[in-house]
Structure formats: structure tokens, C-alpha cells
């Protein structure tokens, strides 16, 4: 009978790739051969939290196998109501040692997550984000609130890590830390080549974080605080729980924090849950020769800039883009239940669906607005259907894609 050990090396590697991490750990304990093959995979990513036992366990692992670790995933965990922070360091020493990268010489990626109970639907965003904070107020909060102390402690340890080239920020609270205003933080940002930033918003039923003064201040200053120091960054994925960008004349709260002079080496930009607002145009034009990829995931236009104008202005800038990807939600137009399509004439909707089915290259370019009193996002489905039938947005998109496809073909010829 054939055994797993007897399988060709390539086949066994394929089987190993299908296993969950726990299964790989168990399999590695069965024989020396499997252990040799699986140890580099098992310890390529180390996950731990601000819990002392979790951090100690992760530290023990990298003390033996740290040369295999390429990514660490650290999550700050505590309730935002916990205060004051414990005496001494805000994080376990083991967590700080791991974040500093002292035992992981081949580390490349750090994912930094924050779980402070801010996703409670009953939490009023004004309680967290309504006040503007100067440096003194930030330091006071870090002495009084455990979650603020943990945030600063994580950054304080991480900015000393000279190995990190990719940073992933998950559920980043829109709050300042003392570390953001240090030279060490700016040097850390300058060494990054790739960044994913998810700005977290409180999903309160009655209003959203984006109508609070503190949230607005954080997002609007993100360019100066973060992006102006990322001179080596090549890839940026920016998104937020509450939509980024200008929505309409009565809602000038959170502009896209993309200034033309920032991120001079940027090759790919992904925006998610964002308005294609006017400040995006000069940014793309300024980066016309270096930016190659633009991805718009679940993005929409508002009152300040239509999709037609956006695509036309990008085209007129003659960028070197070789990839433009738009992904929008077509679900509201494809629902069959009668009570869900009250906003459209049945024959118009049927014609719309038939066109989409006949031509999968057609897009539904979403148009949204934020309620000026609550910050909640709404879509104008009737207007979207009207503009789809007019076809101006699609024609402008197709023209831009002609330029993009030409750039890509030319790039392939030059590469050869």
C-alpha cells in the first residue's frame, strides 16, 4: 500500500498546501521528514494578541523558529471602557519584543489589528470621536484609557522594526497616538513598500462616525501624518467603514486624503467604499507616469463629480495606467421580488436586465450621497438606471479603457 511518505515530493507539497495550520502541526509530529518540510510553513506566519499568554506562546515559537517567520499578525484587544491602563508597559514585554522584530530576521509583513469593542451598534460615535485632540489631550487619553494606551504601545514597539516592508492596518480607530508625531514613526513609514489601511467607523444605527469632528479631522490629516512620509510606497489599498471622499455640497466632511505631492513612487492604488471625488483627479494626473493600476472596489460618484467627468478627466491626463478595474454592486437591479423594485418601471428594469445579460462588459456605475444629518450612505437607483440608459458613463469608461489597453500592449512589447 502506498504511503504519504512515498509520494513524489511535488505531490506531497500540493497536499500539504491544502491543509489547515493545525493539521500541518499534527502531521509534522509524525516523522522527521514531514517536520523538515512543514516547519517553514507552520511558522511563516505568527499570530498573537495583547493577552500575556498569547504573546508569550508566540515569543517561544519565534525563539526557536523565527528564521522562518515572514509575517506577524498582532491584535490589540481590550474594551474601550476599561480604564485606567495597568501600571507599567501597556503591552506585555513579549508582544513588544515580537513587534520589534528582534527574533525574525526574514520578516516582511505586519498585520496590526484593533479590537476595542468599537463595533457595538449601541455605541454613540459622538462619545468617541466628537472632540478634537491636541498632543496634550492625546497623551492624557493614553494615561487614562487602556485602549488608547495599547494603541500607542503597539505603534511604539513596531516603529523600531526596520524589517517591515508591508503594513496591514485592520479596523484602525480614527484617533491619534503620541507615536504618530515622532521621527521614528516617519522613518518607519518611509521604509514601507505596500500598505493596506482600513479606517474603522462605529456602526451606530442613528448616525455614523463621519459626521463627528474628531473623525473628520483624522481623515483629513491622514495625508500629512501618513502619506507624506511614504516616499517608497508602491502599493496602497485604502478603505473605510464609512465612505471616504466628498459626497455633496451639504456633506463636505471627509475628503480623500490623497495630495498630489504625496506617495511619489506609487504604482497601484485600490480604493474601496469611496467616492470618486475631485481631489482624486490631480492625484492621478500628478502620478501619470508612475501609477500603473487603479482599482475602484464598491466605489461611487457623488454631487461633486460624475463618473463621465471622472473618466474623461483621467483620460485627458494621458496616464500610463495599464490596469483600471471597477467593481460595483449590481444586486439592487437584479432583485426579482416585486416589493424590492418599487423604484423602477417594470419594463425599464426588464430591459436593463436583458442588456446586462446580453453584454457582461456593461457596468452599473453607482451614484450615492450621504445624509447630511446622519452620515448614512444612500443610492439614487432611479438616477443610476437613467444614466445607464443614457450610456455616457459607459462610453467614457470604454474610451479610457482603450487608452489603458494600449498602454498594456505597449508595455508587453517593451518588456520583450
The Cα 169–Cα 74 span in angstroms is 10
The Cα 99–Cα 158 span in angstroms is 5
The Cα 196–Cα 272 span in angstroms is 11
Q: Does pLDDT of 338 surpass 50?
A: no
Q: Does pLDDT of 4 surpass 60?
A: no
Q: Does pLDDT of 34 surpass 90?
A: no
Confidence tier at 25 by pLDDT (50, 70, 90): low
* Residue from 219, 221, 258 nearest 241 by CA: 219
pLDDT tens-digit map of 291-326: 999 999 999 998 889 999 999 999 999 999 999 999
In a domain, 8, yes or no: no
Q: Does pLDDT of 175 surpass 70?
A: yes
Which of 59-73, 219-233, 304-318, 331-345 has the least mean pLDDT? 331-345
User: pTM for the whole thing?
Assistant: 0.89
Q: Does pLDDT of 185 surpass 90?
A: yes
pLDDT tens-digit map of 346-402: 677 777 778 878 888 888 898 888 888 888 888 877 788 888 888 999 999 999 999
Q: Does pLDDT of 31 surpass 60?
A: no
Average pLDDT, the chain: 86
In a domain, 155, yes or no: yes
Confidence tier at 345 by pLDDT (50, 70, 90): low
In a domain, 342, yes or no: yes
In a domain, 10, yes or no: no
CB 293 within 8 A of CB 386: no
pLDDT of residue 70: 96
pLDDT tens-digit map of 80-103: 888 777 777 889 999 999 999 999
Q: Does pLDDT of 147 surpass 80?
A: yes
Instruction: State the first-to-last Cα distance of the chain, in angstroms, to the nearest integer.
Output: 49
Q: Does pLDDT of 205 surpass 90?
A: no
Q: How many CB atoms lie within 10 A of CB 350?
A: 11
In a domain, 91, yes or no: yes
Confidence tier at 337 by pLDDT (50, 70, 90): very low
pLDDT tens-digit map of 256-297: 999 999 999 999 999 999 999 899 999 999 999 999 999 999
pLDDT of residue 164: 98
pLDDT of residue 121: 79
CATH code: domain of residue 81: 3.80.10
Q: Does pLDDT of 24 surpass 70?
A: no
What's the total number of domains in the chain? 1
Q: Does pLDDT of 132 surpass 80?
A: yes
In a domain, 7, yes or no: no
Count of alpha carbons within 13 angstroms of residue 354, beta-carbon side: 7
In a domain, 29, yes or no: no
Confidence tier at 35 by pLDDT (50, 70, 90): low
Confidence tier at 328 by pLDDT (50, 70, 90): confident
Q: Which range, 116-125, 186-195, 242-251, is most confident?
A: 186-195
Please tell me whether the peptide bond between 84 and the residue prior to it is cis, using omega within 30 degrees of 0.
yes
Q: Which spans in 243-345 are helix H?
A: 280-286, 307-316, 331-334
Confidence tier at 18 by pLDDT (50, 70, 90): low
In a domain, 115, yes or no: yes
Count of alpha carbons within 13 angstroms of residue 138, beta-carbon side: 17
Helix (H, G, I), strand (E, B) or coil at 169: strand
Q: Does pLDDT of 250 surpass 70?
A: no
Domain coverage including residue 49: 44-415
Confidence tier at 1 by pLDDT (50, 70, 90): very low
Give percent of the chain above pLDDT 70: 84
Amino acid at each position: 500500500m502506498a504511503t504519504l511518505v512515498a509520494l513524489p515530493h511535488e505531490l506531497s507539497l500540493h497536499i500539504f498546501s491544502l491543509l489547515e495550520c493545525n493539521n500541518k502541526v499534527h502531521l509534522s509530529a509524525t516523522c522527521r521528514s514531514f517536520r523538515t518540510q512543514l516547519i517553514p510553513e507552520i511558522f511563516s506566519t505568527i499570530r498573537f494578541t495583547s493577552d500575556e499568554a498569547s504573546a508569550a506562546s508566540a515569543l517561544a515559537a519565534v525563539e526557536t523558529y523565527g528564521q522562518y517567520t515572514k509575517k506577524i499578525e498582532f491584535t490589540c484587544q481590550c474594551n474601550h471602557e476599561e480604564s485606567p491602563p495597568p501600571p507599567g508597559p501597556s503591552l506585555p514585554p513579549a508582544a513588544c519584543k515580537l513587534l520589534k522584530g528582534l527574533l525574525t530576521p526574514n520578516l516582511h509583513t505586519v498585520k496590526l489589528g484593533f479590537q476595542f469593542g468599537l463595533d457595538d451598534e449601541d455605541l454613540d460615535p459622538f462619545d468617541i470621536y466628537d472632540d478634537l485632540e491636541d498632543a496634550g489631550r492625546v497623551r492624557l487619553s493614553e494615561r487614562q484609557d487602556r485602549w488608547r494606551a495599547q494603541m500607542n504601545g503597539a505603534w511604539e514597539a513596531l516603529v523600531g522594526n526596520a524589517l517591515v516592508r508591508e503594513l496591514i492596518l485592520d479596523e484602525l480607530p480614527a484617533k491619534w497616538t503620541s507615536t504618530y508625531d515622532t521621527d521614528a514613526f516617519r522613518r518607519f513609514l518611509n521604509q514601507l513598500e505596500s500598505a493596506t489601511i482600513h479606517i474603522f467607523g462605529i456602526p451606530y444605527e442613528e448616525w455614523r462616525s463621519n459626521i463627528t469632528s474628531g473623525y473628520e479631522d483624522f481623515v483629513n490629516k491622514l495625508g500629512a501624518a501618513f502619506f507624506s512620509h511614504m516616499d517608497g510606497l508602491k502599493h496602497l489599498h485604502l478603505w473605510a467603514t464609512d465612505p471616504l471622499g466628498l459626497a455633496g455640497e451639504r456633506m463636505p466632511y471627509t475628503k480623500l486624503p490623497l495630495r498630489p505631492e504625496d506617495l511619489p513612487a506609487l504604482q497601484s492604488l485600490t480604493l474601496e467604499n469611496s467616492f470618486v471625488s475631485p481631489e482624486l483627479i490631480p492625484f492621478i494626473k500628478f502620478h501619470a507616469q508612475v501609477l500603473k493600476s487603479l482599482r475602484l472596489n464598491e466605489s461611487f460618484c457623488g454631487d461633486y463629480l460624475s463618473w463621465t467627468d471622472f473618466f474623461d478627466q483621467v483620460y485627458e491626463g494621458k496616464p500610463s495606467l495599464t490596469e483600471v478595474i471597477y467593481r460595483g454592486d449590481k444586486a439592487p437591479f437584479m432583485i426579482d421580488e416585486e416589493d424590492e423594485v418599487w423604484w423602477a418601471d417594470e419594463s425599464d428594469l426588464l430591459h436593463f436586465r436583458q442588456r446586462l445579460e446580453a453584454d457582461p462588459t456593461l457596468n452599473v456605475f453607482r451614484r450615492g450621497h450621504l445624509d447630511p444629518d446622519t452620515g448614512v450612505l444612500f443610492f439614487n437607483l432611479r438616477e443610476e438606471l437613467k444614466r445607464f440608459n443614457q450610456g455616457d458613463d459607459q462610453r467614457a469608461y470604454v474610451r479610457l479603457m482603450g487608452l489603458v489597453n494600449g498602454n498594456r500592449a505597449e508595455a508587453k512589447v517593451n518588456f520583450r
